[in-house]
A and B are shown apart, each in its own frame.
Chain A
Amino acid sequence: MGNELIPALDAFPIPGPTWLFHVLLVFTFFLHMLFMNLTLGGTILAALGQLFSGGKADDFRAVMAMRLMGINTFGISLTITTGIAPLLFVQVLYQQYFYTATIMIAWTWLMSLVFLMVGYYAAYLYKFKGTPTKGSGGTAWLWISAIMFFLIAMVHVAVNLIHSQPDQWGALADNPMAILGDAAFWPRLFHFVLAGLGFSGVVVAWWAARQAGKGIEVELNTKIARYGWKWALWTTLLQIADGFLLVMVLPRPVLLGFMRGGMATMLPFTVGIAFALGLLVMLAKVSNPVEKFSTVNGTLIGMIVTIAVMSITRHQIRAIYLEPVTSQFRLETAPQWGNFVLFAVLLVAGLYTVYYMVKEVFESRAAGQDAA
């Protein structure tokens, strides 16, 4: 392919070695995924639960929806916060491709922020005004929120596919929406949606099983735990099929490049698949999560590890997609090590502050001190 549409590299060098930004991009993307799964999958699961509850406030599915959205009004905020860092680092490494892709679908890309705002405020409206115990309207707010987050996922998948395929830019320039017809678009989109549903299902089951284990509303929590677990099982099964399809529809050079990557690419990928199959077995083995809390715990940890490993694979696949063009540009670097160290120190200090604050809050609550 020609490189005639790829913008020039920025004149200013990158302020650190490229490997460092790759590591930071993958790590912060993984953090973002944890919260994003709850935002996307959790809201869809809550909307479905609310729907199946038939609007009865005491139905276990409606209670599950309330719990999920109780977390989500905070979780959405953390999804945005953790999303800022990968958005920053992707611009450092993939400036030429990322900006081009976003400008090609400029209005759609910009609208994703409007979707986010509508989705977030709808989540708050459900929490404050719409939950079944506080009157009707809950279902509508939830669906608005869920649809908005689904649309955002579509926009992000589109940007990702466009920016990693500069050889398609010429064809997409006059009709960028044709990216919806890319063979990888829908399998990729559902890869995220199914992961979100599965992860949220396990989180719901974990929380409910924990409550039931403490003897709190045992009957209700058992129902919720079983329900969440069932969602996790079926979506993980579908996820494996979808993941297989996603590999199959990868462009042949990308697939070959991935296979020839040796340990670097095959190890995380194999570990990811092994974990996914392992998760499926664990999910299938347990029928009542309340009775097998250690397995539930292990499944949750296993899912987090799978997300981490798959974040690496995703990053590698992008690199292979772009390899024919990135190999023709040389990224100049001029490391600002002092600033990096300052960032690292402040990151540790900031996370410690968060830990200290949360610890103080919990201790204060537990001690039953004079309430604020």
Chain B
Amino acid sequence: MDYPIWDIAMGGGVLMGIVAITHVIVSHFAIGGGLVIAVTETLSVKRNDPEMRNLAKRSSLVLILFSTVFGAISGVGIWVVAGLISPAAISALIRNFVWGWAIEWVFFIVEIVAALVYFATWNKISKRAHVMVIWIYFIAAYLSLVIINGIVTFMLTPGKWLQTGAFWDGFFNPTYFPSLVLRTGIVILMAVAFMVWPARKAADEARLKLNRYLGKWAVVGALISYAGYRWWEAALPDTVQSLFLGKGALLDGLAMTRHEVMWSVAVFLVLSIIFLLLMPKMAKVIPLLLITIAAFSFFGTYERLREGTRKPFIIHDYMFSNGVLVQEVGELNEKGMLSKARWAARVPATDSVEMGRQVFDAQCRSCHTIDGYLSIRELAPEDPDMTYSILYALYDQGEMFTALEPGEAVAMGDLNYPFMPPFVGTEEEMEALVDFIASLTTPEGEAAAKGGV
């Protein structure tokens, strides 16, 4: 809010979604791949099975090319994008969890060194030492998930942290363990989705065996994922559940996304049973592609659902998605939003429309653009009175949040716009925002804006 505003037509949220989803797919494969490769190589040594060993070796190339390069860089990318679109949020997270991230960094060092050593020492060191390296890799990679899961789940369900501000209260929050189980299932799903491809390169008979082997992993992964997902859903507070669960779900889009989550895991399970376990001969490119897509779809839609259910917050009950703190709503209503928006109000406004643009930049720009993603020109009503009434309803929502006692949460069903942060600011700022929006949506407004009136 008081940082410069990055004007990005595709919307910061979309960019974050692209970076985050591609990263988590690769990073979860990096963990699950580590597990499945470790077990595969261990079995190949015990059974003296060259085909299993070849699968492990071929998969390790995929692992190193994806995880140590794309995974590592896109992981930094999430930080970078978060810093660009929500600097206040990433700063709050870092201040709370810097030691958690520092610990994750330690695991990351071990993970990366182990991955590089593992890949570089095929056929060069003893089998025992080589297997040891991949197990070290997997343990370090999984421990990094154990850490980051605490920070990711904190954003949706900060739990007792809201009262205590204590690290461990935020870390072991209500959805920590359900999410850890769910992600444990997901890492196996990702491993199967990637490893069915190197398995295709095996000779005919061996390929059938490897497909059945990966099929067993697929079933285990899908069942753990499903159990973890249902537990995660059940652990969510009522206010969050009401957004997407049940017949009267408040957000249709999220309810639909939830269906996609369930269907994706079901399709993955069925396809894996048919094409990997029962008819591995039929596991050609198309069925394998469908299995991979179903796995990615499950994970991608779950991530979208998790992000969506956090609306209108970026850290639930603490910071709204535009960086406004719940606790500062009252103060900003008195002093004005622009009193804090140093960059948006860098040049003093000369008229109401200009002031409205500054309020828009400071308060709405984190989600809306003028003409791009979630375009305000398209979404806002043409009638300024209607805009005013919406903003007033959003202002009232802010009053509801400020009236809360510690430990209380607003019931989302009581909100007219449960996915929107409240309007924060003075009456003058609200009127200015109405004028600015009118300058976009009505011909008269546009003409007035151009004429500088």
Name A residues whose Cβ lies closer than 8 Å to a Cβ of B.
4-8, 10-16, 24, 74, 77-78, 80-85, 87-89, 91-92, 95, 98-100, 102-104, 106, 109-110, 113, 116-117, 120-121, 124, 170, 173, 336, 339-340, 342-343, 346-347, 349-351, 353-354, 357-358, 360-361, 363-365, 367, 369-372
Please, which residue of chain A has its CB at the minimum distance from the CB of B319?
Answer: A11
Name B residues whose Cβ lies closer than 8 Å to a Cβ of A.
2-6, 8, 65, 68-70, 72-74, 76-77, 79-81, 83-84, 87-88, 90-92, 94-96, 98-103, 105-110, 112-114, 116-117, 120-133, 136, 140, 165, 167, 325, 327, 340, 342-343, 346
Please, which residue of chain B has its CB at the minimum distance from the CB of A85?
Answer: B105
Checking B2, B88, B100, B126 against A369 with a beta-carbon cut-off of 8 angstroms, the contacting residue is: B126
The answer to whether A12 touches B95, judged by C-beta atoms less than 8 angstroms apart, is yes
Nearest CB in chain A: distance from B307 CB, A: 20
The answer to whether A74 touches B120, judged by C-beta atoms less than 8 angstroms apart, is yes
Checking A116, A336, A372 against B124 with a beta-carbon cut-off of 8 angstroms, the contacting residue is: A372
A13 to B95, CA, bound (A): 7
The answer to whether A113 touches B102, judged by C-beta atoms less than 8 angstroms apart, is no
The answer to whether B342 touches A4, judged by C-beta atoms less than 8 angstroms apart, is yes
A113 to B327, CA, bound (A): 35
Please, which residue of chain A has its CB at the minimum distance from the CB of B12?
Answer: A106
The answer to whether A80 touches B73, judged by C-beta atoms less than 8 angstroms apart, is yes
The answer to whether A365 touches B124, judged by C-beta atoms less than 8 angstroms apart, is yes
A80 to B77, CA, bound (A): 12
A116 to B167, CA, bound (A): 33
The answer to whether A81 touches B72, judged by C-beta atoms less than 8 angstroms apart, is yes
Given contacts A77-B116, A80-B72, A110-B81, 10 further A-B contacts (CB under 8 A): A5-B342, A7-B87, A16-B98, A81-B72, A92-B98, A95-B87, A106-B8, A339-B99, A349-B106, A354-B110
Checking B80, B100, B123, B133 against A102 with a beta-carbon cut-off of 8 angstroms, the contacting residue is: B80
A-B contact count (CB 8 A): 202
A173 to B99, CA, bound (A): 34
Residue among B3, B103, B116, B327 with most chain A CB within 10 A: B3
Q: Which 4 pairs, one residue from A and one from B, show the smallest C-beta to C-beta distance?
A: A372-B130, A369-B126, A339-B99, A99-B87
A354 to B96, CA, bound (A): 28
Checking A10, A116, A358 against B73 with a beta-carbon cut-off of 8 angstroms, the contacting residue is: A116
Nearest CB in chain B: distance from A363 CB, A: 8
> Inside 8 A of B109's CB, which chain A residues have their CB?
81-82, 350-351, 354
Please, which residue of chain A has its CB at the minimum distance from the CB of B340?
Answer: A8
A336 to B96, CA, bound (A): 9
Checking B72, B74, B131, B132 against A77 with a beta-carbon cut-off of 8 angstroms, the contacting residue is: B72
The answer to whether B76 touches A343, judged by C-beta atoms less than 8 angstroms apart, is no
A371 to B131, CA, bound (A): 12
The answer to whether A372 touches B103, judged by C-beta atoms less than 8 angstroms apart, is no
Q: List 26 A-B contacts (CB under 8 A).
A: A4-B342, A7-B87, A7-B343, A11-B325, A12-B92, A24-B102, A77-B68, A77-B72, A80-B72, A81-B112, A85-B105, A99-B3, A99-B87, A106-B8, A117-B69, A173-B343, A339-B103, A339-B167, A340-B99, A343-B102, A350-B107, A364-B128, A365-B124, A367-B126, A371-B123, A371-B127
A222 to B2, CA, bound (A): 59
A113 to B80, CA, bound (A): 9
The answer to whether B126 touches A364, judged by C-beta atoms less than 8 angstroms apart, is yes
> Inside 8 A of B98's CB, which chain A residues have their CB?
15-16, 88-89, 92
The answer to whether A360 touches B83, judged by C-beta atoms less than 8 angstroms apart, is no
The answer to whether A7 touches B116, judged by C-beta atoms less than 8 angstroms apart, is no
Residue among B8, B81, B84, B113 with most chain A CB within 10 A: B113
